Amino acid sequence: MQNLKCKMQNAKSGEKAVILFSGGLDSTTALCWALKRGYECRAVSFDYGQRHIKEHRSAAKIARLLGVKLYAIKLEFPWLAVSSLIDAHKRLPEIKTSGIGAARSLPSTYVPGRNLVFASIGVSLADSIGAAAVVMGPNVIDYCGYPDCRPAFYRALEKAVWAGTKLGIRGKKIKFLTPLIRMSKKDIIRLAVKLKAPLKYTWSCYAGGARPCGRCDSCKLRAKGFRDAGMIDPAFEK
């Protein structure tokens, strides 16, 4: 579908977009991508019981820097403790760099239905403000273990949104834009630099702490991306 290919076309004058925003590298790049396209953006961040609050602080800081209104949503789902992103007593997975991008079993960091819930809330905001798109930063290459990061998921979800929203039944279909979904981490970083995204303030580490742990999946994926791009991660310059 054309919208999932995310061709570099500009938004129409005054078009709004909702950005699902964690304050991480990918969602910050997606937000800057939407701003560059000319969308009037609203961002939504989520507190769903993560192990730390670092990403919430990053999201708030970056939204302020970019002049984007941020809605901070708190969600309570007791059963999500099955994920190591939620339960601090569970060990975070540590992959080898050579295994990045390879098919593997569902990681312990998988949060059941997370992207479906997030997307639904983004659609609710989009439908209420007349936004043309919901922009997300999933990636099927680096995160192939997550079923809710695949293009097929967003194609199916988009059809449901068209059938079940006020805008949809009036003929204005809310699009899901996933500009990073088939990009390598290296190319995402290069795009972020091109867009002048404030990467210095992004947070990717699953563990939290004063500095990224450097051991979790997310840290290793990010570090490999910067190495492959031939760049130094500005997050370590703080």
pLDDT in tens, the chain (238 residues): 334 444 446 887 789 999 999 999 999 999 999 999 999 999 999 988 777 788 889 999 999 999 999 999 998 877 776 676 665 666 666 665 544 454 456 777 777 778 999 999 999 999 999 999 999 999 887 655 678 888 999 999 999 999 999 999 999 999 999 999 999 999 999 999 999 999 999 999 888 777 888 888 888 899 999 999 999 999 877 5
Q: How many CB atoms within 10 Å of residue 232?
A: 10
In a domain, 4, yes or no: no
Q: Which domain holds residue 212?
A: 14-237
**Six-digit token string for 9:** 């076309």
Q: Is there a domain that residue 210 lies in?
A: yes
- What is the spatial distance between Cα 43 and Cα 71, in angstroms, rounded to a whole number? 6
> Does the residue 8 lie in any domain?
no
- Domain assignment present for 153: yes
Quick check: is 9 in a domain? no
CATH number at residue 225: 3.40.50.620
- Reading phi first (left if > 0) and then psi (alpha if -120 to 50, else beta), residue 46 is in beta
Q: Domain total for the chain? A: 1
Q: Is residue 186 part of a domain?
A: yes
Look up residue 38 and give its amino acid. G
The C-alpha atoms of residue 34 and residue 184 are separated, in whole angstroms, by 19
